[in-house]
A and B are shown apart, each in its own frame.
Chain A
Amino acid sequence: MELWQESVNILVLGSIYVLIAVGLSMIYGILRVLHVAHAGIYTLGAFLSLSIAGVTGNFWIALTLSAIISGFFGALIYRYIYKFVLKEERIVPLIISVGLFITMQDLYRIIYGPYKYPFSISTAIPYIRVGSFYVSPLQMLILMITGVILVGLYFVLNKTRIGVGLKACANDLQMAEAVGINTKLTIALAFFIGSALAAVAGTLVGVYDNSVYPTMGSTVSYKAFVVVVLGGFGSLKGSVIAGYLLAAAEVLLVSWKGFFLPRDAIGFLVMIIFLIFLPNGLFGKKER
């Protein structure tokens, strides 16, 4: 029974990792830019949801609006920042991204102060309990939202023109343009989708932990990076599988009594091992 219980925890934690990493992976796949500021959007999403929920009193409206606004914000970061430095060496957009992330965190601190804000919501989802096995309403909420999003994402990427365009852009940006794809719009769209998902992840974590604070993206920014390395840069399928694998490793190792390292160390150990022995990750293609 305990293993069943752990599997719920793994799925919940993994879902969060996946929601964050998918955007990062999508953006890296197309631009070869490590978008560190993605974690800043995650925090933005949480704060937006918190604020909008405070005004409207409705969690779903807050979540939706927060995702849309954060999506646009992500697209703007591409349009007004990255677009101008893509021809530079890859270290340039990376440094800009780190700077952007720090700036965003400080902005949140200036606006909201260095406090942890509680973010509790009531859902209509019942508490599921079978013997000692249980799924809390918030866990169920995270699983359901992630499920819907992943199915939707799969549909968009595999069955629509947008998906075809994204794939072509990730494969060869210049040729994508040559077959008639508006690549700038497509990339902006990738930023929109990725950022919206990060905002959803930030909101869900804020609600799950019942706290939203300016530096909540710090650990996440590294964690998402671990997931993307594990899955293979640019591979969405890889990111999804790696997100759940990392969650499994964390949950199982931490629950093992003899394990003496903090939880967050696991991801980095795994990443170091991967970078040494399997730098292309589980599903990554060799860099051109």
Chain B
Amino acid sequence: MEENTKKVIKVLKLENVSISYGKISAVRNVSIHVEKNEIVAIVGANGAGKTTLINAIMGFVSPQKGKIFVKGHEITNLAPWKKLAFGLAIVPEGGRVFRNLTVKENLLLGAYRIKDKSKIDDKMNEIFQMFPKMKKRYRQIAGTLSGGERQMLAIARALMSFPKILLIDEISMGLMPKLVDEVLETIHNLKSKDVTILIAEQNTNEVLDIADRAYVMQNGLIVMSGTAEELKNDSKIKESYLGI
């Protein structure tokens, strides 16, 4: 097994990506990569540039400099809807679902690019097993769901597109600690389903429990990287960057 995977495929790769809003630079010269079926975390304080980075990968903002690759194909300046063809999907910050639409409509929109109806039905059943609440709330307007349920729906909606690479932004925001663990556990379980995950998270301790590797971001720069274990045990890092 090890022999075959010697040349590891970099599913997602960012090369010297810089993004600024007017004169304020949010991301500076960032190079990161994610390998197949890895969970990689981007940690750092609020305003470090994590969300901007995720948004750039999805195509919501365009980098002024640098390149983004998925499996060797450059996707830097593609429109978001075209990026779905490369297996990208996003779980945006704050459980951003289609609030005026029902849970059902949200899930079906997740599968907007899937033509095969039986595939959609199968996926829907899989999602009901993963999140029984979604079945219960199927006909409810998404805006009436609780914060935790909206996060679940956001994850479920992203999964409906059969993603290969899932971008997750601040999933723990506004959730009770118990729910944070639950949601992160769900994400960890996705690993066994052939999904590669890049997760931006302020909740450093919890996310390092499920991540394989992590990058530490500060003021738009990657200041440190390593395996989750290394970062968790390094006391200096803890103090200076992670605030644990």
Query: A and B, one complex?
Result: yes
Contacts from A to B (Cβ < 8 Å): 161, 164-165, 167-168, 170-172, 174-183, 285
Q: Is there contact, CB below 8 Å, between B96 and A180?
A: no
Contacts of A285 in B (CB 8 A): 100
Contacts of B98 in A (CB 8 A): 167-168, 171-172, 175-176
Q: Is there contact, CB below 8 Å, between A171 and B99?
A: yes
Q: Is there contact, CB below 8 Å, between B60 and A164?
A: no
Show 30 A/B contacts (Cβ-Cβ < 8 Å), sorted by A: A164-B112, A167-B98, A167-B101, A167-B105, A168-B112, A171-B100, A171-B101, A172-B96, A172-B98, A174-B60, A175-B96, A176-B109, A177-B59, A177-B80, A177-B81, A178-B80, A178-B92, A179-B81, A179-B84, A179-B109, A179-B113, A179-B157, A179-B161, A180-B81, A180-B84, A180-B113, A180-B161, A181-B81, A181-B112, A183-B81
**Given the complex of chains A and B, what is the CA–CA distance between A168 and B107 in angstroms?**
12
Contacts of A179 in B (CB 8 A): 81, 84, 109-110, 112-113, 157, 161
Which size class do B's interface residues fall under?
20 to 34
**Given the complex of chains A and B, what is the CA–CA distance between A164 and B99 in angstroms?**
14
Contacts of A175 in B (CB 8 A): 92, 96-98
**Given the complex of chains A and B, what is the CA–CA distance between A93 and B157 in angstroms?**
33
**Given the complex of chains A and B, what is the CA–CA distance between A40 and B59 in angstroms?**
36
Contacts from B to A (Cβ < 8 Å): 58-60, 79-81, 84, 89-90, 92, 96-101, 105, 108-110, 112-113, 157, 161
Q: Which 10 pairs between the two chains have the least Cβ-Cβ distance?
A: A180-B113, A180-B84, A177-B80, A171-B98, A180-B112, A180-B81, A179-B109, A179-B112, A171-B100, A178-B80
**Given the complex of chains A and B, what is the CA–CA distance between A159 and B90 in angstroms?**
26
Contacts of B58 in A (CB 8 A): 178
| Residue among A161, A167, A170, A171 with the highest chain B CB neighbour number at 10 A | A171
Q: Is there contact, CB below 8 Å, between A168 and B81?
A: no
Contacts of A165 in B (CB 8 A): 112
**Given the complex of chains A and B, what is the CA–CA distance between A171 and B58 in angstroms?**
19
Contacts of B59 in A (CB 8 A): 177
Contacts of B101 in A (CB 8 A): 167-168, 171
**Given the complex of chains A and B, what is the CA–CA distance between A171 and B109 in angstroms?**
12
Residue of A nearest to B91 (CB): A178
